[in-house]
Chain A
Amino acid sequence: MFGNLSDRLQSTFKNLSGQGRITETNIQATVREVRMALLEADVALPVVKQFTEQVRERALGAEVLSALSPAQAFIKVVNDALVDIMGGERREINLRAAPPVVILMAGLQGAGKTTTVGKLGRFLTGQHKKKVMVVSADVYRPAAIDQLETVATQAGLTFFPSNTSQKPVDIAKAAIAEAKRKLMDVVIVDTAGRLAIDDAMMDEIKALHAAINPTETLFVVDAMTGQDAANTAKAFSEALPLTGVVLSKADGDSRGGAALSVRMITGAPILFAGMGEKLDALEVFHPDRMASRILGMGDVVSLVEQVTRDVDMAKAEKLAKKVKKGKKFDLEDLRDQMLQMQSLGGVGSLMGKLPGMGQMAGQVDSAKGDKEVNRMVAIINSMTPQERKFPDIIKASRKKRIAKGSGVEIQDVNRLLKQHQQMAKMMKKMAGGGMAKMMQMMKGGMAGGMPPGMPPFR
């Protein structure tokens, strides 16, 4: 399995404790580890070489802050370099042109262009209140035009019909003329997937670009792409003046190194990332999150954001107050917590975002974890309010009834009660001034690649 860069560097730096400065001699092995991590994340080799050179220059002589170990300091250098490169010129999609603003899509077969057209159209309608028309100039793939029509209907966009006997340039021109008449704000032109080495097809899209002069020319690239991302990006950016990149299928478990390759080779900023099957699953690209994903450091920032978005803050605050006051953490609270965890997408989704656990997310049976949570909620649901408040009263016959009510064995009820007991104990400790200590533990855990909240063995 892929190693986590922070873990790798930690071991490389083991012998360096006490050295306060990164030097030419101690950097050699480290740069090699970075190179390996980037290759495992699918960053293209020429890009890796160029990037590690930049990192070496940046890192040399960099002061190691007293709070950081040399490994941590180095990771920071690498991370900052990644963020700089991927987000140097971050910008929003350009809609400042005489309407209709024309957006042209380009990419390989199966990259996700048509789905992205639907998502982008939806985004522009929703976030920017624009009237969007979409049109397909893919006269090759069977049912490509039907696909866009269906997507457009689902996304509530205006669809301009075309057919396979037409020429792509004619289709696009007719659509733009129609959009002008209908006072549309944006026209998105979908195109056929094409290989960068297919000269005839590359000429076709060049001609299309020249004929419609789009404001944005977006290159759609699959986040799972390997080394070939470099060749393809180079060929497309030579043929077309690309203005932006959309990273599709970024909700998979790939490291997404293609993002770095494409960014460095085309120079075009990455505007969006496709994050799921649904039409609203298009997110504005966050270079900092992508950087930590490429390095295998998890996606702590977006986890935190997701938590603040999806968690019922009022309930969370109530619990925090309760704990602070030293009040008991009852089964009602436990159920709330578990339901909140589920609203965050379940165990698997959380694991993927924690540092050092990204790869484990694929291995751990997250479905099993979610099932377990469901079962625990069911057990609590089978209790009376009084039992939830005062779990101590649950003795043999009550246990039997609860087990029957939730369709589990008595052992399962016992296990739940025991888990609750342990948690309540921990909460009590936290209330007793241990909060600051706990936070420190979490911080230490993060830097070392351990998930926050995992008690260290000290």
Chain B
Amino acid sequence: MSWFGLFKSKKTETEKASLSQRLGEGLAKTRARMAGIGNIFKRDVIDEDTIETLEDTLLSADVSIPTCNVIIDGIKARAKQSDPQTAFRDTLIDLIQPLKSDLTVTEGIKPYVILVVGVNGSGKTTTIGKLTKKLQQEGKRVMLAAGDTFRAAASEQLATWGERNNVPVIRQAPGADPAAVIFDAYQSAQARGSDVLIADTAGRLQNQSGLMDELAKIRRVLGKAEADAPHETLLVIDGTTGQNALQQAKLFKDIAHVTGVVVTKLDGSARGGMIFTLAHELAIPVRFIGVGESVDDLQLFDPDAFVDTLLDDN
């Protein structure tokens, strides 16, 4: 590591360094893929070849074509003042910086209700397991509601996470009305003085309007117990998703009033370029990114670290 690198890591807090390190490990493949970028920037000018390589890099990270064009324009505009690499880094960070807004459980709201939604297999239940642990570490008393009454053994899966973290899980028989399960769980959480209630829901594709209506119903019914609930609606998006991520975010935002996004499975070879597309097209904060199987691998979204990991070509 160069002196500059050493200086940089000293300057950052220990916590942040370990985070960026973890992220670095998680996105190791990304780095390998993006390796070409460092070489491009060895040159001082941005010519057509450079642009084409940048474009390919962004597109193969699942950045959408319109967003890609915006980024390229940004780089061209900046390249006059700064060197290409800085221009690239700054453009990317500027684009996703507005998405940085962490989940805060408001003091005084008890229980603070977090509704978790998303398409099938995006990682909702696993995210809830990790989030529970995280909130417990902050000293919160958490309760879980098994609102996925459709998928086989979904409530057992959530119950296992409940056991692991030693938190109560409210569940009913398969096929029960999810709105009723979550409403009951709210009352139970209130009675037991829980700080946070996290409600799981069944996975649903955003174009299945009947199932999407069910989410609207959950909101309506929950609103009868507490007008402001759910206080947070998290959309869990699979990090390997392509252009469909935008459509997911749009429809879930419209119908379920999503207030935050969690992008999972970024520890694989997927690059999560959809975050740039989401930043360009929709302004929903990214609350967490999932970079691994363990509880600590649900990380706060850090735009600088995210971009640096993409650019790091070591």
Question: What is the CA–CA distance of A240 and B238 in the complex, to the nearest angstrom?
Answer: 24
If the complex has contacts A141-B157, A222-B121, A258-B242, are A228 and B152 also in contact, measured as CB distance less than 8 A?
A: no
Distance in angstroms from A122 CB to nearest chain B CB is 13
* CB of B150 closer than 8 Å to a CB of A: yes
Q: How many A residues have CB within 8 A of the partner chain?
A: 55
- Whether the pair A110, B59 counts as a contact (CB closer than 8 A) is no
Does B207 lie within 8 Å of A253, measured CB to CB?
A: yes
How distant is B227 from chain A, measured CB to nearest CB, in Å?
25
Mask: chain A, 38-79; 1 = CB below 8 Å from B; 0 = not: 011110110000000000000000000000000000000000
- The residues in A between 224 and 252 inclusive whose CB is less than 8 angstroms from any CB of B are 224-229, 231-232, 235, 249, 251-252
- Contacting B at CB under 8 A, from A108-139, are 108-112, 114-115, 118
Shortest beta-carbon distance, A197 to chain B, in Å? Answer: 6
Contact B156 A142 (CB under 8 A): yes
A264 at the interface (CB under 8 A from B): no
Is the CB–CB distance between B207 and A226 below 8 Å?
no
How many Å lie between the Cα of A255 and that of B243 in the bound state?
9
CB-CB under 8 A from B62, the residues of chain A are 42, 226-228
**Residues on B with beta carbons closer than 8 Å to the beta carbon of A45:** 56, 59-60
Residue from the list A39, A110, A228, A232 in contact with B122, Cβ < 8 A: A110
Question: Of the 9-residue stretches A88-96, A147-155, A178-186, A334-342, which lies at the interface with chain B?
Answer: A147-155
Please report the C-alpha to C-alpha distance between residue A257 and residue B267 in the assembled complex, in whole angstroms: 22
Contacts of B174 in A (CB 8 A): 150
Given contacts A110-B122, A252-B207, contact A227 B61 (CB under 8 A): yes
Q: Evaluate contact between A277 and B150: CB separation under 8 angstroms.
A: yes
Contact of A367 among B29, B59, B213, B251 (CB under 8 A): B213
B150 to A, closest residue via Cβ: A277
Chain B: interface residue count, which band? 35 or more
Q: Interface SS of chain B: helix, strand, loop or mixed?
A: loop
On whether the beta carbons of A251 and B157 are closer than 8 Å, the reply is no
B241: Cβ under 8 A from any A Cβ: yes
How distant is the Cα of A258 from the Cα of B56 in the complex, in angstroms? 17
Residues in B whose Cβ lies below 8 Å from that of A197: 28-29, 267-269
Least CB distance, A281 to chain B, in whole angstroms? 12
With both beta carbons as reference points, the residue of chain B lying nearest to A277 in the complex is identified as B150
Flag if A249 contacts B268 (CB, 8 Å). Answer: no
- Say whether A4 faces chain B, with CB atoms less than 8 Å apart: no
Tell which of A2, A40, A154, A348 touches B152, judged by Cβ atoms closer than 8 Å.
A154
Q: Indicate if A352 sits at the interface (CB-CB under 8 A).
A: yes
Of A148, A151, A252, which one neighbours B206 at CB under 8 angstroms? A252
Q: Which residue of B has the minimal Cβ distance to A118?
A: B152
B192 within 8 Å of A (CB atoms): no
Whether A196 sits at the interface, judged by CB under 8 Å, is yes
Q: Are A224 and B59 in contact (CB under 8 A)?
A: no
**Given A39-B59, A197-B269, 19 other A-B residues pairs in contact with their CB atoms under 8 A:** A108-B265, A108-B268, A111-B121, A142-B129, A143-B157, A143-B160, A146-B156, A147-B157, A148-B152, A195-B265, A195-B268, A197-B268, A224-B244, A226-B273, A251-B205, A251-B207, A252-B244, A254-B244, A361-B207
A-to-B contact residues, CB < 8 Å:
2, 36, 39-42, 44-45, 108-112, 114-115, 118, 141-144, 146-151, 154, 195-197, 222, 224-229, 231-232, 235, 249, 251-255, 257-258, 277, 348, 352, 361-362, 366-367
A-B CB proximity, top 4 nearest: A226-B242, A110-B121, A142-B160, A150-B152
